[in-house]
Structure 1
Amino acid sequence: MWLEITTLNQVPEWGVLKVNVDDLSVILNRQGMNVTCYRNACTHLEYPIDMGKVSRGIITCPFHKYQYKLDTGKCVNAPSHALESYPVKIEGDRVFVDIDE
């Protein structure tokens, strides 16, 4: 189900925006007009990663330093792991995410 969760200008370019959708915490990232959405949980121990440092399109988990590419969700430290992603669509300046639970 597509849910409108924010506007495009609220998603920081090259940063992350944490949004709570019901009981689910997600992070959004924008690189140009490309917006991605991931579950706000490191694949290592499920700790939230929204407070992690973002540099050059990579977010680093503040707890155990796992690093993820924000354009793909792939883990730099453990390539077999990736952040859980959700489809995103943009209509005008509104950002929708398909959260299937």
Structure 2
Amino acid sequence: MWVEITALNQIPESDIFKMKVEGISLIFNRQGMNVTCYRNACSHLEYPIDMGKVNSGIITCPFHKYQFQLDTGKCLNASADSLESYPVKVEGDRVFVDID
């Protein structure tokens, strides 16, 4: 089920945008026109990752310092621990996420 999230320009470049959709806490990242979406939970211990520091396209979990690439969700500390991603599409200036 595709859900409209926000306008593209409301998702900051080089940072994250947090939103709850259908009861699921999500984070969005934008690099140019490319938008990614992940569940707001570090794959290490499931703690919220939205308070983590973003630097050069990498978010660092504030609790255990695991680092994740925001363009792919891949964990730099343990390759098997990627962030849980959700499909995103951009239509015009609107951003949608598929939460199924």
CA-based RMSD of the aligned residues comes to 0.5
Q: Percent identity among equivalent residues?
A: 75
Structure 1 residues not aligned, in runs of 5+: none
**What TM-score, normalized to structure 2?**
0.98
Q: Residue type of the partner of 1:36?
A: T
Equivalent runs, 1:59-74 vs 2, <5 Å:
59-74=59-74
Check if 1:19 corresponds to 2:19: yes
Shift of 1:50: 0.5
- Aligned residue pair count: 100
Shift of 1:80: 1.2
**Structure 1 runs (4+) greater than 4 angstroms displaced:** none
Partner of 2:82: 82
- In structure 1, C-alpha distance between the alignment counterparts of 2:71 and 2:36, rounded to whole Å: 7
Structure 2 residues not aligned, in runs of 5+: none
Q: Residue type of the partner of 2:24?
A: L
